[in-house]
Structure 1
Amino acid sequence: MKITDARVVVTSPGRNYATLVVETSDGLVGVGDATLNGRELAVATYLRDHVCPLLVGRDPARIEDTWQYLYKGAYWRRGPVAMTAIAAVDTALWDIKGKTAGLPVYELLGGASRDGVMVYGHADGRDVPELLDSVAEYLQLGYKAVRIQAAVPGMAKTYGVSTGDGQVYEPANAHLPEEGSWESSTYLDFAPTVFEAVRERFGFAVHLLHDVHHRLTPIEAARLGKALEPYRPFWIEDATPAEDQSAFRVIRAHTTTPLAVGEVLTSIWDVQTLITERLIDYVRTSVAHTGGISHLRKLYALGELYGVRSGAHGAGDLSPVAHAAALHLDLTIPNFGIQEYMGHRDPAAEVFRSSYTFTDGYMHPGNAPGLGVEFDEAAAARFPYQPRYLPVNRRLDGTVHDW
Structure 2
Amino acid sequence: MPVYQLLGGKCREAAACYAHAGGSCREEVVDSIRAFMEEGYRHIRVQLGGYGGLSSALTRPDGAQDGAYFDPRGYVRAHLQLFEYVRQQVGDEVELLHDIHERLTPIDAVGFASDAERFKLFFLEDPLAPEDLEWFHSIRQQCSTPIAMGELFNHPREWQPLIAGRLIDFLRMHVSQMGGITPARNVAAFANMYGVRTAWHGPGDTSPVGHAANLHLDLWAPNFGVQEWCRFPEHVYEVFPGLPEVRGGYMYPNDRPGLGIDVDEELAARYPCKDQVEQWTQTRLPDGSPSRP
Normalised by the length of structure 2, the TM-score is 0.91
Change (3 A) 1:273 1:388: farther
Map 1:215-294 → 2, pairs under 5 A: 215-294=103-182
Among 220, 224, 227, the residue aligned to 1:339: 227
The Cα of 1:129 is off from its aligned counterpart by 0.6
Aligned runs of 1:343-362 on 2, under 5 Å? Answer: 343-362=231-250
C-alpha displacement of 1:257: 0.5
Aligned to 1:399: 289
Cα separation, 2, equivalents of 1:389 and 1:279: 35
Counterparts of 2:252 and 2:25, CA distance in 1 = 34
Which residue of the other structure, out of 58, 64, 69, is the alignment partner of 1:181? Answer: 69
Q: Following superposition of structure 1 onto structure 2, how do residues 98-247 of structure 1 map, counting pairs within 5 Å?
A: 103-151=1-49, 152-155=53-56, 179-247=67-135
Answering whether residue 185 of structure 2 is matched by residue 297 of structure 1, we say: yes
Secondary structure at the aligned position of 1:214 is classed as: coil
Q: For the residues of structure 2 that align with 1:297 and 1:156, how far apart are their CA atoms?
A: 46
Tell me, what secondary structure is at the counterpart of 2:35?
helix
Tell me how far 1:346 sits from its aligned partner: 4.1
1:236 is paired with a residue of what secondary structure?
A: strand
The whole-number CA distance in structure 2 between the counterparts of 1:112 and 1:371 is: 13
Q: Deviations over 1:266-320 (max 9, x none)?
A: 2333211111111111010022221110111111111111111101110111111
Q: CA deviation at 1:126?
A: 0.8
The answer to whether the Cα contact below 8 Å between 1:320 and 1:354 also exists between their aligned partners in 2 is no
Match of 1:306 in 2: 194
Q: CA deviation at 1:216?
A: 1.1
Q: CA deviation at 1:385?
A: 2.3
Tell me the equivalent position of 2:209: 321
Greater displacement, 238-247 / 250-259? 238-247
Asked which structure has the greater CA Rg, the reply is: 1
Q: CA deviation at 1:247?
A: 2.2
What SS is found at the alignment partner of 1:271? helix
Q: For the residues of structure 2 that align with 1:335 and 1:156, how far apart are their CA atoms? A: 43
Q: Is contact 1:268-1:298 (8 Å) kept? A: no
The alignment partner of 1:133 has SS state of helix
Contact 2:104 2:128 in 1 (8 A): yes
Q: Which structure 2 segments of 5+ residues have no match?
A: 59-64
**For residues 78 and 134 of structure 2, what CA distance do their matches in structure 1 show?**
27
SS in 1 for 2:148: strand
TM-score (norm 1): 0.67
Specify the SS of the correspondent of 1:119.
strand
- Residue by residue over 1:213-272, the C-alpha shift from the partner in whole angstroms, topping out at 9 and shown as x without a partner, is 111122211111111111100011111212332121222221210111111112333211
Deviation for aligned residue 1:396? 0.6
Secondary structure class of the residue paired with 2:85: helix
Whether the 8 Å contact between 2:4 and 2:217 is mirrored in structure 1 is yes
For the 8 Å contact 1:267–1:291, the answer to whether it is kept is no
Aligned ranges 1:8-23 → 2 under 5 Å: none
Equivalent position amino acid for 1:398 in 2: G
Alpha-carbon distance change, 373 to 238 in structure 1, aligned in 2, over 3 angstroms? same
Q: CA deviation at 1:355?
A: 4.7
The Cα shift of 1:349 comes to 2.0
Match of residue 364, structure 1, among 241, 244, 252: 252
Quote the Cα distance in structure 2 between the aligned partners of 1:314 and 1:355. 14
User: Partner of 2:88: helix, strand, or coil?
Assistant: helix
CA distance in 2, matches of 1:355, 1:235: 27
Letter of the 1:141 partner, please give it.
E
